[in-house]
Structure 1
Amino acid sequence: MSLLAPFAEDPADSRTYLLNNATAHRYRSAVTESVTRISAKIAGTARPFTGISVDGLTPTVAGVDLDTPLHDPAAALDELEEVYLRDAVYFHHPRYLAHLNCPVVIPALVGEAVLSAVNSSLDTWDQSAGGTLIERRLIDWTADRIGLGEQADGIFTSGGSQSNLQAMLLARDEACRREPTGDDSPAGARLTDVLPRLRILTSECGHFSIRKAATLLGMGAEAVIAVPVDADKRMRAADLADELARCRREGLIPMAVVATAGTTDFGSIDPLPEIAELCDRYGAWLHVDAAYGCGLLVSRRRELLNGIERADSVTVDYHKSFFQPVSSSAILVRDRATLRHVTYHADYLNPRRMAERRIPNQVDKSIQTTRRFDALKLWLTLRIMGARSVGELFDEVIDRAADAWKLLHDDPRFDVVVEPRLSTLVFRYLPGTDPDPELADRVNLHAREALFASGDAIVAGTKVDGRHYLKFTLLNPETTLDDIATVLDLIAEHAGSFLAEQPRPALSAR
């Protein structure tokens, strides 16, 4: 018998679906039923994906009549199996090796269940109370791990792109504040006067969200200067120095330098101490995008982040290397006063008198208003399993990536680009002795698509010097070296099948 039978008592009464003191038993049975089904689904997942195509799944979803409710949670869950669960991409599977999607820890899922049911909104104290204090404590904890100092602060965000956007907004407005004006205005130069001269400098391997942020902030993507990288895909400090000097000569304002601690493709970490020195010399805001590499804060490899403590702002994504469910991210700043650039007071929500009374309204430092209590997931993770255990999981995937690099490096079928510092590997299949780069591109594109369509494994793709490469992103400690070797064999098998179907070149006449 279904645990969800209580919902059938009076489906016409809409109030029976609200969670309150009268319906708590229905909530309990519904969640128990859904958790039972999901746990069975995860336990029985044999591969990361079914391989279904867009055309194959679209009619199933389109065929659902959203204007005709089922009035039966069990039936709705049965339907959900057909439209979602059966064909979902399961990140917990050890042969999911594509993007920066981590398996999640159980304590965080407990937090997810609690925060969804209570449904706190973290914009004002009178909507969240203890939630506000928990989020603030976690910001302080993270800032302390980074080493930002006693004046540090921050806010949870929806992800790295939003964190980077807020960092660039703060850097932009700080650059305007510092720019001298003819009338010596204490507020600094007007944004409209300064905007065309502002520049952001970042690695050519940096995240695309920096260009998107420049566009959203009215500067345009052309305001972002891509600094060349070395053979290990790290920003060249000497080239950064040259670009900063050029900006000064040409009357441009280097409002920010974005250093990356864990690039998306290569996991490379820019030389943070050298970059910090240059930012000090030229008066540029230093932002460190550690969305990926933030797991090093609790790792035995913490020294890889040396220099991050000198940043003006830092992006962290707990939903990458802290094994948290999406979303869980934060922007940290060295000087809490800089958050005033996103502070606006609304009489109905956070009137100025509340700040004067030191009532902690988180909306005062966020570009969002309504926000989920995502901090609770990290709180319960730290309270149940601890930071050391999180770090051990991240160290394990880094160790696995190092072993996988050796495997790839010694395999004549593949060319691997750089030895990883974190847990990504960029490589490509070599089609025999044929040096044709166009053929190699087609082979690797085909191998990735064929592997995805099979559902046996999922790998990512990217470009290096204009050529198509494959990418492993390892974030699952359950992924073994045998799993990786098997996926490499599958790639080679799909590549070989593609090559066998290619027409042979005609032999030249003697």
Structure 2
Amino acid sequence: MRAAPPSPLAARTTPLSRFLGIALDALRTGAEERGGPLPAGGPAAVTARVRDTLGAVLPETGWGPEEALRTLVHLVAAGAADPAHPLCAAHLHTPPLAVAAAADLAATALNPSMDSWDQAPAASALEAEVTAALAAEVFPSAARPDALVTTGGTEANQLALLLARERHGPALTTLTGAHTHHSVRRAAWLLGLPEPVTLPTPHGVLDPEAVARALAGLDGPVLLAATAGTTDEGLIDPLPELADVCAAHGAELHVDAAYGGPLLLSGTHRHLLDGLDRARTVSLDLHKLGWQPAAAGLLAVRDPADLAALAHTAAYLNAGDDTEAGLPDLLGRSLRTTRRPDILKAAVTLRALGRTGLGALTDLCMERAQDLADLVEKAPGLELRARPALTTVLFRPTGAEDARVAAIRRTLLTEGRAVLGRARADGRLWLKATLLNPHTTPDDLAQLISLVELAEGGTDR
């Protein structure tokens, strides 16, 4: 039986620390109930559990903040695909660092809005310092590089195309590869740009000679969108050669490094990004190999003058006399108005772990990918697509039809045993493991292989 209706003020007067304890306990009990990387039963079973638990979405009388928080956090945790579980390895989705999650909670509690200085004095100053420092990692030889905070690689790519359009006009042609992230094509559509010219990438990366031939046949301004860490295979385009081709043909270079960009902090693997600093703009994403809670994206620019195109005035946010008096103008730092201080969690992480700490986490994930590739090569019934370039491993049962590969993945999902992605390469469907959890062990990887072999043996042929 429901208790007496709580006071509407209870949620406001109860200390945050008490709610935090309830939420953490519900996260724990939800994960215990789940017992694996994702809930068993598939979409219908998950939806039924949500509806049964939720009942009325907007009840006439509330249940009270403690019950609501405990019940629904437990529900979502029990029904989560948990990136902290070592067998949840499908997507570019990382387990956030605890210190970053705590910083994100602080940002939520303070609730500053990054659209005017008087709403976020310290946060805006922190953002300016941290973005400048991260941009300098991308463009170490540039005089004053800068970066904008975005919701991720999609928004960063859209901004890159917008800035290029403002430099060159609506006749700008975007040249991409078949492997390029879908957000580039979508951005061209949103911005009214011509349909991108897409080159085939039979080997997974752009061919500089093919790019040169394409540029020779194009009139007007061209932006080449290259990739440092493709979504399907984690491959890196030959950036130095592409930069040379762009320079020879007067084209501009944008690099989507949402996946691979954080390798800049790895002393061991930084060389894989040689040539990145020759781009005009670079997309980064710290909620991938940066272990931040989403969202944590950046667009780094070599020349801060390019950002002038984003200037916008609203008298209630950046009045001219306020700006002249020294109040920072934040409206030109994003296409969004209200936005969270997402830089806080990144700043805390950078301070806590430093370059060597973050680089070590990246190196661990790179090592685990090589370990998984070794296991696949040793398994008599499995085929490896190629040795991993970053942390993505494609593999499949030897000789399997695509339908069988897809069925294996869905079987593991439905049973709640493992979360693997899917990717198409060389005309075939592959299982995809994206290893972004530094706590994953070789034993976890061996278990993943065993689960695939077991599912393959039990899948209808």
Q: In structure 2, what residue type is equivalent to 1:365?
A: R
Q: In structure 1, what residue type is equivalent to 2:26?
A: R
CA separation in 2, counterparts of 1:453 and 1:264?
24
Deviations 1:260-311 (A, max 9, x none): 1111111111111111122222222211111001220111211111111111
Provide the aligned length of Structure 1 versus Structure 2.
454
CA separation in 1, counterparts of 2:45 and 2:370?
38
Query: Is 1:345 matched with 2:334?
Result: no
Query: Is 1:70 matched with 2:65?
Result: no
CA separation in 2, counterparts of 1:43 and 1:132?
40
What is the SS of the residue equivalent to 1:315?
A: strand
**Alignment equivalent of 2:157, drawn from 152, 157, 164:** 164
Aligned to 2:278: 310
CA separation in 2, counterparts of 1:411 and 1:39?
35
Q: In structure 1, what residue type is equivalent to 2:6?
A: P
Q: In structure 2, what residue type is equivalent to 1:17?
A: A
Aligned to 2:144: 151
- Residues 34 and 78 of structure 2 are in contact (CA less than 8 Å); yes or no, is this contact kept in structure 1? no
Aligned to 1:428: 396
Counterparts of 1:398-417 in structure 2, within 5 Å, are 398-417=366-385
Q: CA-atom RMSD, angstroms? A: 2.1
Unaligned runs of 5+ residues in structure 1 are: 1-7, 177-190, 432-438, 503-510
Q: In structure 2, what residue type is equivalent to 1:245?
A: A
Q: In structure 2, what residue type is equivalent to 1:109?
A: A
CA separation in 2, counterparts of 1:52 and 1:134?
45
Deviations 1:326-384 (A, max 9, x none): 11111111111111222211111123444444432222131111110111001111222
Counterparts of 1:213-362 in structure 2, within 5 Å, are 213-220=187-194, 223-229=195-201, 231=203, 233-247=204-218, 251-254=219-222, 256-300=223-267, 301-362=269-330
CA separation in 2, counterparts of 1:82 and 1:385?
31
CA separation in 2, counterparts of 1:358 and 1:312?
29
Aligned to 2:456: 495
- Residues 107 and 385 of structure 1 are in contact (CA less than 8 Å); yes or no, is this contact kept in structure 2? no
Q: Measured at CA, do residues 464 and 263 of structure 1 come closer, stay the same or move farther in structure 2, by a change above 3 Å?
A: same
Give the drift of 1:402.
1.4
- Residues 447 and 492 of structure 1 are in contact (CA less than 8 Å); yes or no, is this contact kept in structure 2? no
Aligned to 2:27: 38
Aligned to 2:354: 386
CA separation in 2, counterparts of 1:175 and 1:261?
25
CA separation in 1, counterparts of 2:259 and 2:358?
14
Query: Is 1:395 matched with 2:363?
Result: yes
Aligned to 1:142: 134
Deviations 1:215-259 (A, max 9, x none): 111125xx212233363x221111111111011xxx3431x1111
Aligned to 2:402: 441
CA separation in 2, counterparts of 1:421 and 1:357?
51
The 10-residue stretch of structure 1 (401-410 or 60-69) with the greater mean CA deviation from structure 2: 60-69
- Residues 60 and 82 of structure 1 are in contact (CA less than 8 Å); yes or no, is this contact kept in structure 2? no
- Residues 94 and 291 of structure 2 are in contact (CA less than 8 Å); yes or no, is this contact kept in structure 1? yes
Aligned to 1:29: 18
CA separation in 1, counterparts of 2:33 and 2:410?
25
Q: Measured at CA, do residues 446 and 306 of structure 1 come closer, stay the same or move farther in structure 2, by a change above 3 Å?
A: same
- Residues 260 and 288 of structure 1 are in contact (CA less than 8 Å); yes or no, is this contact kept in structure 2? yes
Give the drift of 1:496.
1.9
Q: Measured at CA, do residues 143 and 453 of structure 1 come closer, stay the same or move farther in structure 2, by a change above 3 Å?
A: same
Aligned to 1:458: 419
TM-score (norm: length of structure 2): 0.93
Q: Measured at CA, do residues 385 and 219 of structure 1 come closer, stay the same or move farther in structure 2, by a change above 3 Å?
A: same
Aligned to 2:177: 203
Which of the two has higher C-alpha Rg?
1
Aligned to 1:4: none
Q: Measured at CA, do residues 81 and 365 of structure 1 come closer, stay the same or move farther in structure 2, by a change above 3 Å?
A: closer
**Alignment equivalent of 2:166, drawn from 168, 173, 178:** 173
- Aligned-residue identity in percent: 33
Give the drift of 1:410.
3.4
Q: In structure 2, what residue type is equivalent to 1:160?
A: G
Q: In structure 2, what residue type is equivalent to 1:150?
A: A
CA separation in 1, counterparts of 2:101 and 2:277?
31
- Residues 10 and 16 of structure 1 are in contact (CA less than 8 Å); yes or no, is this contact kept in structure 2? no
Give the drift of 1:42.
5.0
Aligned to 2:103: 111
Deviations 1:110-151 (A, max 9, x none): 211110000011111111011001111111111111125222
- Residues 266 and 426 of structure 1 are in contact (CA less than 8 Å); yes or no, is this contact kept in structure 2? yes
Deviations 1:418-460 (A, max 9, x none): 22111001122124xxxxxxx6111101100001111111100
